[in-house]
Structure 1
Amino acid sequence: MAFIKTRKKIVSSAIASSLSVIAMNAVAQEQVTTLETIHQDVQAEQKQSLKVDKSANTKYVAPLLDTPKSVSVISKQLIEDTQVTTLSDALRNVPGITLGAGEGGNPNGDRPFIRGFNSESSMYVDGVRSATSQNREMFAVEQVEVTKGSASAMGGAGTTGGSINMISKVAKKGDSLEGSVGAGTDDYQRITLDGNKDFGNGIAARVALMGHHNNKAGQGDDGAEYARVGIAPSITFGLDTPTRATVSYYYLKSNDTPDSGVPYQYDTSKLVTAGKPVDVPEGIYYGWKNRDFQKQENQIGTLKLEHDLTDNLTLSNVAQYSNSKNNYVWTQPDDSQGNVAQGEVWRRSNSKITDTNTFTDQLSLTGKLNTGSLVHSFNTGVEYSKQDSDRGGYTLNDTTANGSNPNSGTSQWNVKPGGTLGACANSGMGIGADSNYWCTSLNNPNSNDPWLGSITANPKTSNVTTKNTSVYALDSIKINPQWILDLGIRWDKFETNLNNYTTNKSYSSDNDFFNYQAGVTFKPVENGSIYASFATSSNPIGVDAGDGSEGLSTPGGRGPTEEQAIANNNLKPEDVHTMEIGTKWDLFNEKLNLTATIFRTEKTNTRATDTDGYTRNIGETRVDGLELGVNGNITNKWAVSAGYTYLDSTIVDDGPKDSNEGNQVQNVAKNSATLWTTYAFTPSFTLGAGAVAMDKVYGDAANTKFVPGYVRYDAMARYNVNKNVDLQLNVNNLSDKRYFTKAYASHYATEAEGRSAVLSVNFKY
């Protein structure tokens, strides 16, 4: 807690100081700036759009209008309007994405599902894979690009349902200084600064800074708490010259009290959890603040070199080294023992220690050339990466008055009773001091109960190393003004090695595979396109290097281990393909973009648990869908970003479990929609409103555990004090709707934040 308390003081002092400086500067600006000039600058600023025409990823060799794929871009303007601070919050603006909870003892971090498929290891920073489990921040991000559908030809292994690429803030031409100071409900405090200096002679430097603290809205001081700091400097040489170099560094450190979730209801007749989360007071928190923690540290160092061989040909190389640490002990409100039926919750502990180092090098040649009447826009290259992940955990020791250890898997605490008693009552202890506070009240838990046990770190019990070597070629071929052919192919060699230091055994998996994409685009007019495409993906063992939730797990805590599964089966990569037909249109003088697509994604060769408990490639899932989108300006004053996604997901083959076949795929919402719109009533005053709607989401393949559907509303008001400073009020979850964002497969669901309000002072110079 010392880190959090110290960080709160630092952020509070920074906010107070910055507010004073900005206020004095605003007064000075008002004294020297005429009203007419203010209006002109404000109008110019409002022209910044929610519409993005070109991807910052060089693997998109054509404008998005002419790209036969579904790509959703969370623009810089949308990030500023909604004041989102984390990637999970930002992805709320993209329909068709649901968030998953960390499975069992796997790392607790961002786990998005795109079109129904786990994309935790399909995260990228400036086109470089960032597969580690972490809670990502937005302070150093310009925009977020979400590719939907199979995309291994572009992104490599994984990318089954799509991928997420975060574009970093790096040094650029011109001088600028911008930032934000915010304070709000639930002890919200945040300050960000982003300064860019152009030194001339092609040299520029930039640095982004951030300090943040907040309690989880609705839980007050007795619930989850988040504190973090970050810095992202960069320097570029050779701006506007044929040879350019950019050196950048990213650092983020967080120290959180994690959220514990809400247990599902308990079916006493079947002695299993079932249904939706149990009906308890909103904002309830079962965590143990004197025990629980999550500490993360992420560093990324990047060197990018570019050289223009000709006006239409560029050779570039990106070398990146990263380190990611994710350590935690947190409370899972486990009701596998029937405690909820007795009005109790057992504070089961989940823990993890991961330390992952990754090196990636990407060499590419991009450009344009003509072969006869055909115009090629292409990107071809080779990539190499090595990810080395040490895994461990914490041992929690605690002995109660009757000599039992609540954290022992062999004690009566962890044995399902034969009747209706939960583990707490079955132990003869119960709530409070008798159980050393491992048992707490279902309706009135005390998060400040004392922790009487000890915690011992075991930082390196196993190691997973993955190596990936690949060669790819992407080409957009303009046949004539009406027809464009999109082609791509990629070969990957993917090696995984797992060393278990407890058993002194090693296991390996070695695969190579081809993936491709092919699409054709017809342009009846310059501002419109109609396309059809087909693309594949491969999901090999070890795609997350063990630092995530996409690896093999021990079924139900019993059965074979991950090592045995690999050793006995030599599992092949899962095969995925997407067929898609869509259309894109730029309207209103290209200020507004409309999109529509229908698609089918099928995963075959899916890993599933066989009758003997081993994992084999014996399953199949399918998702059919429809997506609609609109982004940009309807008028100069009215901007909108909206989307709708329909996903018809089916478990076609669940291996030997015929009872699950035909069920809806877990972590998929059948219907989801997002809306964000702003209207500038005057050159100085803008109002915004948004909504997010999502259907029921199942946590398990049996479709017995779920979180209900919901609609959430947000609002924003912004007043431009002058051309440099504005005041912005964001109210999130306006109606204080109680809903759940994540459905865990077995025990619990994650409750969303309640209503919150943040007032920010934003400045740009």
Structure 2
Amino acid sequence: MSFIKSRKKIVSSAIASSLSMIAVNAVAEEQVIQLETIHQEVAAEKEPSLKVDNSANKKFVAPLLDTPKSVSVISKQLIEDTQVTTLADALRNIPGITLGAGEGGNPNGDRPFIRGYNSESSMYVDGVRSATSQNREMFAVEQVEVTKGSASAMGGAGTTGGSINMISKVAKAGDSLEGSVAGGTDNYQRITLDGNKDFGNGIAARVALMGHHNEKAGQKDGAEYSRAGIAPSITFGLDTPTRATLSYYYLKSDDTPDSGVPYWDSATQTATGKPLNAKQGIYYGWEDRDFQKQENQIGTLKLEHDLTDDLTISNTAVYGKSKNDYVWTQPDDSKLNIVNGQVVRRANTRITDTDTFSDQLSLAGKFNTGALKHSFNTGVEYSRQESDKGSYNLTDLGVTTTTLPNGTPNISASKGCSGLTGSTSNFWCTNAYQPNSRDPWLGSIAASPKASTTETESTGIYLLDNIELNPQWLLDLGVRWDKFETEQTIHASNTKYASDSDFFNYQAGVTYKPLPNGSIYASYATSANPIGVDAADGSEGISVPGRNTTEEQAQAMNNLKPEEVRTMELGTKWDLFDDRLNLTAAIFRTKKTNTRAADTDGFTRNIGETRVDGLELGANGNITDKWAVSAGYTYLDSEIVDDGAGTNDGNQVQNVAKNSATLWTTYDLTPAFTIGAGAVAMDKVYGDAANTKYVPGYVRYDAMARYNVNKNVDLQLNVNNLTDERYFTKAYASHYATEAEGRNAVLSLNFKY
């Protein structure tokens, strides 16, 4: 809490300083005009738009219009319009993505599901995997690219339902300065600054800064978020054949996390159905006990050399460190305490320290073989990740919540509420309908930081090639081989579990262009999901359920093969209205075989199968000079085809919304005044494979108004969840769901020079 209080002072001081700076610059009119001229020369290459034509990921060897794959891009303009500050908030602009919840074994952090498949280990920063458990910020992100469908030929292991790639703000040509100072309801405070300086002689430097604090909208004495970050970079050799960029990213957060709402069916008095029908904004957390502290660092060195005008060799080396430590309350409904009006404040804990190193060497460019035109990218990638996982032991009145050797909380040691109330349980029990987050914590917390260590090592070789047969026909081909090794050590017993696999993946697509501004395509792509793909820093895990002896566990792991995924897709893309608006449509099937599932003898084997059939529609860009739109709709028909020895065959896949839609649109009423409105709609989502626990469907509405004070400064008001709808964003499989924020408003002063 001291960190949060200090951040409030820092943010408040920064707001005052920035306002003073803006006022001084506004007076210095000649200087403003000079800076604006430079800014216009640099930005003239591309006007801000909700439409993005090319991926910043060089593995996309053709424009998005000619790529036989569904790709959704959250543009810089959409980020600014909606004022989203986290990746989780940004992803709500894309239909077909749901968010999963975490606890102790499944870490509390970003856990997106793309087209119904877990993608927390398929997160990338500038094309390099960055899959550690964390809550990601947007202050240093230029845009977000979501690739949908199997994509291991491009991304390697995982990428079952797709992947998420965040494009960083790095040094560039030209001088620019922009930022934002914002305040709002629920003690919202935020300041960002992004400055780029071109020193000439091919050298430029850039730094992005951020300070943030807010309380969860609609919650009293509840969740609270505070974070600060910096992302400097420097580039040498701009506009020369040889370029080098050195960048660093740092984000530190200190939060009081949200505790969620337990499932409860009052008719059957069981912990099933939808979340408890309690007041909106209810909070079961324990302020004296709960915290989540994260620290993430990424250092990157990228070298590029143009061998010819059409051939570039590059190497990107990345080293990262990630920490995710927390103790937070999960409202435990497992003992049916709500019958007595009570909820157990079960403690979920985790201590994770992860080090990663990745290196990517690639050769990209264009060449011709006779009449065939090739645009290609080929390369070699290596990565190594080591993750130490532990937890916290909590002791109170002789009752101890311990951890299992692999770092998972021992739930059976949690305190119950049978015959107890708040004070007689030392406040481990709280009222189910009127909890008190300020109850005193009378116990002790001790760290057990290294229960297990998991190491993964991956090597991949790939070739991607887009071949223009003639102006109407394009062929897209890709192949990749990966070797993936993982080993987990349980330190208490010195037990080791290991898995070693190698696999090929490929993609093939054909695109027909009836007109230069349109394409019709068909594609087929594969993915492979080996055991331990998240290096135990996610929900995949590495040890498998089944027999308890070391020999049997080890044998079970050695026998498990990577899960296999296939995506077939047929779609079309069109640029209309002088290429200002992009329309897309696609139908697809994703099928996952060799799914890990429990067999009749208790062992986990590759015997399961799931399937998702779907339809997607999208529109992004400008309908007129004044009217911009970003809209999408996704229909997902999912089925658990084979649950192994389970009884869930035929059920809907968990974390899948059958129907989902998004809309964001803005209109320039005058050259100085813009209004915007948006909506997000989603069907109910099941949290478990048995389809007994779910969060209801909802529709949320947002609005925005922006006034340009002058050519450098604007004022923007965003009001989110206009109708104060009570809805839930995450459905956990067993115990709880996460309630969304209530109505909130943010007023920001934005400047660009």
Distance in 2 between residues matched to 1:384 and 1:139, nearest whole Å: 28
1:619 maps to what in 2?
Answer: 608
Residue 223, structure 1, aligned to residue 225, structure 2: no
AA partner of residue 525 (structure 2): A
Distance in 1 between residues matched to 2:32 and 2:449, nearest whole Å: 60
Residue 524, structure 1, aligned to residue 524, structure 2: no
C-alpha change, 1:563 and 1:633, in structure 2 (3 Å) is farther
Distance in 1 between residues matched to 2:198 and 2:550, nearest whole Å: 52
C-alpha change, 1:30 and 1:754, in structure 2 (3 Å) is farther
Within 5 Å, give how 1:94-243 maps onto structure 2.
94-220=94-220, 222-243=221-242
Question: For residues 56-101 of structure 1, what are the alpha-carbon distances to aligned partners after superposition, in whole Å with 9 as ceiling and x for unaligned?
Answer: 0000000000000000000000000000000000000000000000
SS at match of 2:16: helix
Question: For residues 137-193 of structure 1, what are the alpha-carbon distances to aligned partners after superposition, in whole Å with 9 as ceiling and x for unaligned?
Answer: 000000000000000000000000000000000000000000000000000000000
2:735 maps to what in 1?
Answer: 747
How far residue 554 of structure 1 moved from its aligned partner, in angstroms, is 6.6
1:65 maps to what in 2?
Answer: 65
Residues 3 and 254 of structure 2 are in contact (CA less than 8 Å); yes or no, is this contact kept in structure 1? yes
Within 5 Å, give how 1:545-564 maps onto structure 2.
545-552=535-542, 560=548
How far residue 331 of structure 1 moved from its aligned partner, in angstroms, is 0.4
Residues 406 and 438 of structure 1 are in contact (CA less than 8 Å); yes or no, is this contact kept in structure 2? no
How far residue 565 of structure 1 moved from its aligned partner, in angstroms, is 4.0
Question: For residues 91-145 of structure 1, what are the alpha-carbon distances to aligned partners after superposition, in whole Å with 9 as ceiling and x for unaligned?
Answer: 0000000000015532110000000000000000000000101000000000000
SS at match of 1:274: strand
How far residue 46 of structure 1 moved from its aligned partner, in angstroms, is 11
Residue 646, structure 1, aligned to residue 645, structure 2: no
Residues 479 and 485 of structure 1 are in contact (CA less than 8 Å); yes or no, is this contact kept in structure 2? yes
Residue 262, structure 1, aligned to residue 252, structure 2: no
Distance in 2 between residues matched to 1:324 and 1:526, nearest whole Å: 46
Residues 107 and 548 of structure 1 are in contact (CA less than 8 Å); yes or no, is this contact kept in structure 2? yes
Q: Mean alpha-carbon deviation: is it higher for 451-460 or for 611-620? A: 611-620
SS at match of 2:108: coil
Q: Mean alpha-carbon deviation: is it higher for 22-31 or for 537-546? A: 22-31
Within 5 Å, give how 1:21-420 maps onto structure 2.
21-26=21-26, 29=29, 47-220=47-220, 222-266=221-265, 272-399=270-397, 404-405=399-400
Residue 567, structure 1, aligned to residue 566, structure 2: no
Distance in 2 between residues matched to 1:548 and 1:146, nearest whole Å: 20
Question: For residues 3-50 of structure 1, what are the alpha-carbon distances to aligned partners after superposition, in whole Å with 9 as ceiling and x for unaligned?
Answer: 0000011101111222233245446659998xxx9xx99x99995210
How far residue 613 of structure 1 moved from its aligned partner, in angstroms, is 3.0
1:419 maps to what in 2?
Answer: none
C-alpha change, 1:174 and 1:45, in structure 2 (3 Å) is closer
Within 5 Å, give how 1:339-738 maps onto structure 2.
339-399=337-397, 404-405=399-400, 424-426=416-418, 428=419, 430-552=420-542, 560=548, 565-570=553-558, 571-657=560-646, 659-738=647-726
How far residue 656 of structure 1 moved from its aligned partner, in angstroms, is 1.1
Residues 226 and 254 of structure 1 are in contact (CA less than 8 Å); yes or no, is this contact kept in structure 2? yes
Question: TM-score under structure 2 normalisation?
Answer: 0.95
Residue 764, structure 1, aligned to residue 752, structure 2: yes
AA partner of residue 133 (structure 1): S
The unaligned stretches of length 5 or more in structure 2 are: 405-409
Residues 272 and 692 of structure 2 are in contact (CA less than 8 Å); yes or no, is this contact kept in structure 1? yes
Question: For residues 508-546 of structure 1, what are the alpha-carbon distances to aligned partners after superposition, in whole Å with 9 as ceiling and x for unaligned?
Answer: 100000000000000000000000000000000111000
C-alpha change, 1:201 and 1:30, in structure 2 (3 Å) is closer
C-alpha change, 1:205 and 1:166, in structure 2 (3 Å) is same
Distance in 2 between residues matched to 1:748 and 1:568, nearest whole Å: 31
C-alpha change, 1:257 and 1:506, in structure 2 (3 Å) is same
SS at match of 1:10: helix
Residues 487 and 519 of structure 1 are in contact (CA less than 8 Å); yes or no, is this contact kept in structure 2? yes
The unaligned stretches of length 5 or more in structure 1 are: 417-421
2:407 maps to what in 1?
Answer: none
Distance in 2 between residues matched to 1:330 and 1:264, nearest whole Å: 18
How far residue 431 of structure 1 moved from its aligned partner, in angstroms, is 2.0
SS at match of 2:669: strand
Residues 696 and 706 of structure 1 are in contact (CA less than 8 Å); yes or no, is this contact kept in structure 2? yes
Distance in 1 between residues matched to 2:597 and 2:303, nearest whole Å: 43
AA partner of residue 276 (structure 2): V
1:9 maps to what in 2?
Answer: 9
How far residue 615 of structure 1 moved from its aligned partner, in angstroms, is 1.8
Residues 728 and 761 of structure 1 are in contact (CA less than 8 Å); yes or no, is this contact kept in structure 2? yes
Distance in 2 between residues matched to 1:531 and 1:121, nearest whole Å: 28
Question: For residues 405-442 of structure 1, what are the alpha-carbon distances to aligned partners after superposition, in whole Å with 9 as ceiling and x for unaligned?
Answer: 57799xxx9779xxxxx97442x4x2222111000001
Alignment length (residue pairs): 743
Question: TM-score under structure 1 normalisation?
Answer: 0.94
Distance in 2 between residues matched to 1:496 and 1:754, nearest whole Å: 43
Q: RMSD of the alignment, in Å?
A: 2.3
Distance in 1 between residues matched to 2:632 and 2:166, nearest whole Å: 20
SS at match of 1:92: helix
Distance in 1 between residues matched to 2:287 and 2:27, nearest whole Å: 44
How far residue 550 of structure 1 moved from its aligned partner, in angstroms, is 1.7
How far residue 262 of structure 1 moved from its aligned partner, in angstroms, is 0.1
Residues 552 and 562 of structure 1 are in contact (CA less than 8 Å); yes or no, is this contact kept in structure 2? no
C-alpha change, 1:143 and 1:552, in structure 2 (3 Å) is same
Distance in 1 between residues matched to 2:542 and 2:718, nearest whole Å: 42
Distance in 2 between residues matched to 1:733 and 1:233, nearest whole Å: 34
AA partner of residue 137 (structure 1): E
Residues 530 and 583 of structure 1 are in contact (CA less than 8 Å); yes or no, is this contact kept in structure 2? yes
How far residue 241 of structure 1 moved from its aligned partner, in angstroms, is 0.4
Distance in 1 between residues matched to 2:12 and 2:306, nearest whole Å: 47
How far residue 560 of structure 1 moved from its aligned partner, in angstroms, is 4.2
AA partner of residue 624 (structure 1): D
Distance in 2 between residues matched to 1:553 and 1:494, nearest whole Å: 16
Distance in 1 between residues matched to 2:168 and 2:657, nearest whole Å: 30
How far residue 611 of structure 1 moved from its aligned partner, in angstroms, is 2.8
Residues 311 and 366 of structure 2 are in contact (CA less than 8 Å); yes or no, is this contact kept in structure 1? yes
How far residue 561 of structure 1 moved from its aligned partner, in angstroms, is 8.7
Residues 30 and 722 of structure 1 are in contact (CA less than 8 Å); yes or no, is this contact kept in structure 2? no
Distance in 1 between residues matched to 2:608 and 2:266, nearest whole Å: 29
Residues 719 and 745 of structure 2 are in contact (CA less than 8 Å); yes or no, is this contact kept in structure 1? yes
Residues 50 and 632 of structure 1 are in contact (CA less than 8 Å); yes or no, is this contact kept in structure 2? yes
Distance in 1 between residues matched to 2:574 and 2:167, nearest whole Å: 25
Residues 398 and 407 of structure 1 are in contact (CA less than 8 Å); yes or no, is this contact kept in structure 2? no
C-alpha change, 1:672 and 1:191, in structure 2 (3 Å) is same
C-alpha change, 1:722 and 1:566, in structure 2 (3 Å) is farther
Question: For residues 694-751 of structure 1, what are the alpha-carbon distances to aligned partners after superposition, in whole Å with 9 as ceiling and x for unaligned?
Answer: 0000000000000000000000000000000000000010110000000000000000
Distance in 2 between residues matched to 1:406 and 1:243, nearest whole Å: 57
SS at match of 1:529: strand
Residues 262 and 333 of structure 1 are in contact (CA less than 8 Å); yes or no, is this contact kept in structure 2? yes
